[in-house]
Amino acid sequence: MNGDQSFDQGQFQGQVLADLRYIKDSLSKKVDRDEFLPVKAITYGLVGLILMAVVGALVATVVKALPT
């Protein structure tokens, strides 16, 4: 450390402990992978369904535009 700055060991340790508590609290609020898996499956399923509807509408438009 720089010799110009005063260094208080107790204050430093207190700040480190406060930071560790903050990190621990933040991590406890995160969603686990097991909890996220059903949400991921439902979301991918709905997105796939929407994309199939869009592609189906485009194919139907092209088929209707073909001369018979």
Residue where the block lists tokens 């686990």: 32
In a domain, 5, yes or no: no
In a domain, 6, yes or no: no
Would you state the pLDDT for residue 10? 83
In a domain, 62, yes or no: yes
For residue 37, what are the domain limits?
31-68
In a domain, 35, yes or no: yes
Tokens for 50?
A: 């929407």
In a domain, 4, yes or no: no
Tokens for 34?
A: 């097991």
Report d(CA 22, CA 1) in Å as an integer: 26
Question: pTM above 0.75?
Answer: no
pLDDT per residue as tens digits for the range 13-57 = 889 999 999 999 888 888 777 888 899 999 999 999 999 999 999
> Domain tally for the chain?
1
In a domain, 39, yes or no: yes
Contact 1, 7 (CB under 8 A): yes
